[in-house]
């Protein structure tokens, strides 16, 4: 058995190109920064092109190679074009993180709007499928790599009032496991992470009592940070996780422990 250790973290992603959907804010932005710090070339893909360009300007100011691309994960043609842009710009795609997602309204299942359901599932589940549909052939062409799909603690738990979100995030876990089985012997690792409630722009407008309730669900006594999630994702993308395939890793402050 080889005892060769991976490169030091500051160089662990050198000579690799990574695509991050939803890469201009929250967990995606923290991850884009983390990958750039590790030497990756980063393609920041986001529906908000202005925010993506601002993120790229920040990364470039620190010496990173990066590019922005406007990408709507609910549109297969947009996703295909975004992956092609990454390959055409930097020559190959080695890593991908499918992070783009939305929360949706809070409503019981029997009152949930059909259009609301369709929108949440289209973004949070179909968007992950569309992304992998075009990322996997590109990564195969590059000789292999890794994909991490961002699910949620609600990929394994229920949550009253969020039927579409919970169903979609459960689906992401199943989709991850299936792709991992299909590509494990083709030098592509596919894994998922399940963040707890994270202090991102999506939650910063939550009022005091609601925010306090969310915090109370985590035995750690606080919300997570985008950087904590990014660190786990970076590990799963790295050669340090070379024997991890098809796994679903929680980063949730103990939410799922009880």
* Alpha-carbon dihedral sign for residues 20, 48, 88, 9: negative
Give the list of residues 6+ apart from residue 15 with CB closer than 8 angstroms, or none.
39
**161 vs 191: CA distance, rounded Å:** 27
Catalytic residue, candidates 112, 130, 165, 183 = 165
Nearest to 96 by CA among 32, 160, 151, 178: 32
Burial class (CB in 10 A: 0-12, 13-18, 19+), 193: buried
Q: In the annotation, is 165 catalytic?
A: yes
Q: What is the 3 state secondary structure string of 193-250?
A: EEECCECCCCCCCCCHHHHHHHHHCCCCCCCECHHHHHHHHHHHHCHHHCCCCCCEEE
- Residue with structure tokens 């199943």? 174
Nearest to 14 by CA among 35, 28, 30: 35
Q: Which residues are catalytic?
A: 165
């Amino acid at each position: 058995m080889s005892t060769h250790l991976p490169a030091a973290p500051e160089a662990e992603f050198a000579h690799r190109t990574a695509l991050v959907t939803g890469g201009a804010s929250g967990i995606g932005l923290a991850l884009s920064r983390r990958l750039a710090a590790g030497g990756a070339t980063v393609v920041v893909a986001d529906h908000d092109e202005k925010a993506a360009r601002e993120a790229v300007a920040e990364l470039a100011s620190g010496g990173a190679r990066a590019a922005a691309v406007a990408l709507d994960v609910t549109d297969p043609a947009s996703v295909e074009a975004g992956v092609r842009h990454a390959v055409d710009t930097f020559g190959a795609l080695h890593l991908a993180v499918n992070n783009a997602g939305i929360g949706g309204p809070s409503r019981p299942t029997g009152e949930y709007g059909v259009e609301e359901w369709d929108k949440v599932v289209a973004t949070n589940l179909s968007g992950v499928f569309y992304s992998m549909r075009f990322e996997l052939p590109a990564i195969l062409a590059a000789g292999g790599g890794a994909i991490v799909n961002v699910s949620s603690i609600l990929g394994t738990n229920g949550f009253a009032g969020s039927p579409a979100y919970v169903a979609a995030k459960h689906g992401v876990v199943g989709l991850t496991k299936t792709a991992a089985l299909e590509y494990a012997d083709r030098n592509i690792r596919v894994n998922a992470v399940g963040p707890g409630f994270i202090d991102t722009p999506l939650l910063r407008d939550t009022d005091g009592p609601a925010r306090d309730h969310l915090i109370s669900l985590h035995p750690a006594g606080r919300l997570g940070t985008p950087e904590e999630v990014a660190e786990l994702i970076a590990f799963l993308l790295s050669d340090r996780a070379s024997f991890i395939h098809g796994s679903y890793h929680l980063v949730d402050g103990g939410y799922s422990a009880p």
